[in-house]
Structure 1
Amino acid sequence: MSKSLSFFRLISLIEGTSLIALVFIAMPLKYQFGYGEPVLYVGWAHGVLFLSFLLSLLIVSHIQKWSVGFFLLAFVSSIIPTGTWLLDIKLKKMVTPRPV
Protein backbone atom coordinates (compact mmCIF):
# COMPACT_ATOMS: atom_id res chain seq x y z
CA MET A 1 0.00 0.00 0.00
CA SER A 2 1.36 3.42 -0.89
CA LYS A 3 2.21 5.91 1.81
CA SER A 4 -0.20 8.44 0.33
CA LEU A 5 -3.09 5.96 0.48
CA SER A 6 -2.19 5.00 4.06
CA PHE A 7 -2.14 8.67 5.03
CA PHE A 8 -5.48 9.24 3.29
CA ARG A 9 -7.06 6.32 5.14
CA LEU A 10 -5.81 7.73 8.45
CA ILE A 11 -7.06 11.26 7.70
CA SER A 12 -10.43 9.93 6.55
CA LEU A 13 -10.94 7.91 9.73
CA ILE A 14 -9.97 10.85 11.95
CA GLU A 15 -12.20 13.22 9.97
CA GLY A 16 -15.11 10.80 10.19
CA THR A 17 -14.63 10.44 13.93
CA SER A 18 -14.61 14.22 14.33
CA LEU A 19 -17.90 14.42 12.43
CA ILE A 20 -19.41 11.81 14.75
CA ALA A 21 -18.18 13.77 17.78
CA LEU A 22 -19.60 17.00 16.38
CA VAL A 23 -23.01 15.63 15.40
CA PHE A 24 -23.65 13.19 18.24
CA ILE A 25 -21.82 14.77 21.19
CA ALA A 26 -21.10 18.48 20.76
CA MET A 27 -24.32 19.52 19.02
CA PRO A 28 -26.63 17.73 21.48
CA LEU A 29 -24.71 19.38 24.32
CA LYS A 30 -25.41 22.74 22.70
CA TYR A 31 -29.02 22.32 21.67
CA GLN A 32 -30.34 20.10 24.46
CA PHE A 33 -28.32 21.33 27.41
CA GLY A 34 -27.34 24.86 26.39
CA TYR A 35 -23.63 24.15 26.62
CA GLY A 36 -22.25 25.47 23.32
CA GLU A 37 -18.52 25.57 23.97
CA PRO A 38 -17.80 22.03 22.69
CA VAL A 39 -19.26 22.97 19.29
CA LEU A 40 -16.70 25.74 19.01
CA TYR A 41 -13.71 23.46 19.57
CA VAL A 42 -14.97 20.26 17.96
CA GLY A 43 -16.39 22.23 15.03
CA TRP A 44 -13.12 24.04 14.48
CA ALA A 45 -11.14 20.79 14.64
CA HIS A 46 -13.59 19.09 12.30
CA GLY A 47 -13.27 21.98 9.84
CA VAL A 48 -9.50 21.67 9.74
CA LEU A 49 -9.74 17.89 9.40
CA PHE A 50 -12.36 18.19 6.64
CA LEU A 51 -10.10 20.50 4.64
CA SER A 52 -7.19 18.09 5.20
CA PHE A 53 -9.41 15.26 3.99
CA LEU A 54 -10.34 17.18 0.82
CA LEU A 55 -6.73 18.06 0.05
CA SER A 56 -5.54 14.50 0.59
CA LEU A 57 -8.49 13.20 -1.46
CA LEU A 58 -7.44 15.37 -4.39
CA ILE A 59 -3.83 14.23 -4.14
CA VAL A 60 -4.51 10.52 -3.62
CA SER A 61 -7.20 10.34 -6.30
CA HIS A 62 -4.69 11.77 -8.77
CA ILE A 63 -1.88 9.41 -7.68
CA GLN A 64 -4.14 6.33 -7.63
CA LYS A 65 -5.92 7.39 -10.86
CA TRP A 66 -9.37 6.97 -9.33
CA SER A 67 -12.42 7.43 -11.51
CA VAL A 68 -14.62 10.49 -11.08
CA GLY A 69 -17.30 8.21 -9.65
CA PHE A 70 -15.02 6.85 -6.95
CA PHE A 71 -13.76 10.36 -6.19
CA LEU A 72 -17.36 11.50 -5.70
CA LEU A 73 -18.11 8.45 -3.54
CA ALA A 74 -15.16 9.33 -1.31
CA PHE A 75 -16.27 12.96 -1.12
CA VAL A 76 -19.87 12.07 -0.22
CA SER A 77 -18.62 9.64 2.42
CA SER A 78 -17.02 12.58 4.23
CA ILE A 79 -20.35 14.34 4.80
CA ILE A 80 -22.27 11.30 6.06
CA PRO A 81 -21.65 10.16 9.65
CA THR A 82 -19.76 6.82 9.55
CA GLY A 83 -19.29 7.27 5.80
CA THR A 84 -15.52 7.45 6.00
CA TRP A 85 -15.44 4.26 8.04
CA LEU A 86 -17.37 2.49 5.27
CA LEU A 87 -15.02 4.06 2.72
CA ASP A 88 -12.07 2.63 4.66
CA ILE A 89 -13.51 -0.87 4.30
CA LYS A 90 -13.70 -0.32 0.53
CA LEU A 91 -10.16 1.07 0.41
CA LYS A 92 -8.82 -1.83 2.44
CA LYS A 93 -10.41 -4.29 -0.02
CA MET A 94 -8.85 -2.40 -2.92
CA VAL A 95 -5.31 -2.64 -1.57
CA THR A 96 -5.32 -5.97 0.27
CA PRO A 97 -4.08 -8.81 -1.93
CA ARG A 98 -6.53 -11.67 -2.28
CA PRO A 99 -5.34 -15.10 -1.14
CA VAL A 100 -4.88 -17.62 -3.91
Structure 2
Amino acid sequence: MLRLFRYVALVEGITTLALFLVAMPLKYVFDNPVLIRPVGMIHGIAFLAYIAVMLFVLPGRGFGALGWIRTTLAAFFPFGTFLNDPYLRRREAALSALRRV
Protein backbone atom coordinates (compact mmCIF):
# COMPACT_ATOMS: atom_id res chain seq x y z
CA MET A 1 0.00 0.00 0.00
CA LEU A 2 2.85 2.37 0.75
CA ARG A 3 4.10 1.77 -2.77
CA LEU A 4 0.74 3.01 -4.12
CA PHE A 5 1.16 6.17 -2.07
CA ARG A 6 4.67 6.66 -3.46
CA TYR A 7 3.29 6.41 -7.01
CA VAL A 8 0.54 8.93 -6.26
CA ALA A 9 3.16 11.24 -4.72
CA LEU A 10 5.27 10.92 -7.86
CA VAL A 11 2.32 11.87 -10.06
CA GLU A 12 1.53 14.82 -7.79
CA GLY A 13 5.13 15.99 -8.03
CA ILE A 14 5.23 15.63 -11.81
CA THR A 15 2.00 17.58 -12.23
CA THR A 16 3.41 20.34 -10.02
CA LEU A 17 6.48 20.55 -12.23
CA ALA A 18 4.31 20.56 -15.36
CA LEU A 19 2.31 23.44 -13.95
CA PHE A 20 5.33 25.48 -12.84
CA LEU A 21 7.74 24.67 -15.66
CA VAL A 22 5.44 24.35 -18.66
CA ALA A 23 1.96 25.82 -18.21
CA MET A 24 2.84 28.94 -16.20
CA PRO A 25 5.80 30.03 -18.37
CA LEU A 26 3.64 29.46 -21.43
CA LYS A 27 1.04 31.77 -19.92
CA TYR A 28 3.23 34.48 -18.44
CA VAL A 29 6.19 34.52 -20.83
CA PHE A 30 4.49 33.68 -24.12
CA ASP A 31 1.02 35.04 -23.27
CA ASN A 32 -0.61 31.71 -24.09
CA PRO A 33 -2.73 30.36 -21.21
CA VAL A 34 -3.96 27.29 -23.09
CA LEU A 35 -2.39 24.73 -20.70
CA ILE A 36 -3.22 26.40 -17.39
CA ARG A 37 -6.72 24.97 -17.09
CA PRO A 38 -6.06 21.33 -18.07
CA VAL A 39 -2.72 21.03 -16.26
CA GLY A 40 -4.14 22.84 -13.24
CA MET A 41 -7.12 20.48 -13.16
CA ILE A 42 -4.90 17.40 -13.42
CA HIS A 43 -2.65 18.77 -10.67
CA GLY A 44 -5.68 19.49 -8.47
CA ILE A 45 -6.94 15.94 -8.87
CA ALA A 46 -3.46 14.57 -8.19
CA PHE A 47 -3.18 16.72 -5.05
CA LEU A 48 -6.55 15.52 -3.75
CA ALA A 49 -5.59 11.92 -4.54
CA TYR A 50 -2.32 12.43 -2.62
CA ILE A 51 -4.17 13.65 0.47
CA ALA A 52 -6.85 10.91 0.20
CA VAL A 53 -4.37 8.08 -0.29
CA MET A 54 -2.18 9.48 2.50
CA LEU A 55 -5.13 9.43 4.90
CA PHE A 56 -5.95 5.87 3.85
CA VAL A 57 -2.43 4.38 3.75
CA LEU A 58 -0.43 6.00 6.56
CA PRO A 59 -2.50 5.09 9.65
CA GLY A 60 -1.26 1.98 11.41
CA ARG A 61 2.06 1.87 9.58
CA GLY A 62 4.27 3.38 12.25
CA PHE A 63 4.33 6.98 11.05
CA GLY A 64 4.81 9.27 14.01
CA ALA A 65 3.65 12.87 14.21
CA LEU A 66 6.82 14.06 12.48
CA GLY A 67 6.30 11.60 9.62
CA TRP A 68 2.73 12.80 9.16
CA ILE A 69 3.78 16.46 9.21
CA ARG A 70 6.66 15.85 6.83
CA THR A 71 4.51 13.90 4.38
CA THR A 72 1.69 16.45 4.51
CA LEU A 73 4.01 19.41 4.00
CA ALA A 74 5.68 17.66 1.07
CA ALA A 75 2.50 18.16 -0.96
CA PHE A 76 2.56 21.91 -0.45
CA PHE A 77 6.09 22.65 -1.65
CA PRO A 78 7.55 22.26 -5.14
CA PHE A 79 9.85 19.22 -5.22
CA GLY A 80 8.53 18.25 -1.76
CA THR A 81 7.17 14.90 -2.86
CA PHE A 82 10.48 14.08 -4.55
CA LEU A 83 12.45 15.05 -1.45
CA ASN A 84 10.12 12.99 0.75
CA ASP A 85 10.36 9.85 -1.42
CA PRO A 86 13.59 8.48 0.17
CA TYR A 87 11.87 8.70 3.57
CA LEU A 88 8.84 6.81 2.23
CA ARG A 89 11.12 4.25 0.58
CA ARG A 90 12.89 3.61 3.91
CA ARG A 91 9.53 3.25 5.70
CA GLU A 92 8.37 0.83 3.00
CA ALA A 93 11.56 -1.24 3.38
CA ALA A 94 11.19 -1.29 7.17
CA LEU A 95 7.58 -2.45 6.95
CA SER A 96 8.54 -5.10 4.42
CA ALA A 97 11.33 -6.36 6.71
CA LEU A 98 8.88 -6.59 9.61
CA ARG A 99 6.51 -8.73 7.56
CA ARG A 100 9.29 -11.19 6.71
CA VAL A 101 10.16 -11.79 10.37
Unaligned 5+ segments in structure 1 are: none
Q: TM-score, normalised by structure 2?
A: 0.86
Q: Give 2:21's aligned residue.
A: 24
RMSD of the alignment, in Å? 1.5
Please identify runs of 4+ aligned residues in structure 1 that moved more than 4 A: none
Q: Percent identity?
A: 31
Q: TM-score, normalised by structure 1?
A: 0.87
Q: CA offset at residue 95 of structure 1?
A: 2.5
Residue in structure 1 matching 2:82, options 58, 76, 85: 85
Residue in structure 2 matching 1:76, options 57, 73, 76: 73
Deviations 1:22-43 (A, max 9, x none): 0111111111111111010000
Unaligned 5+ segments in structure 2 are: none
Q: Give 2:50's aligned residue.
A: 53
Q: Distance in 2 between matches of 1:28 and 1:94?
A: 36
Q: Give 1:42's aligned residue.
A: 39
Equivalenced residue count is 95
Q: CA offset at residue 64 of structure 1?
A: 1.3
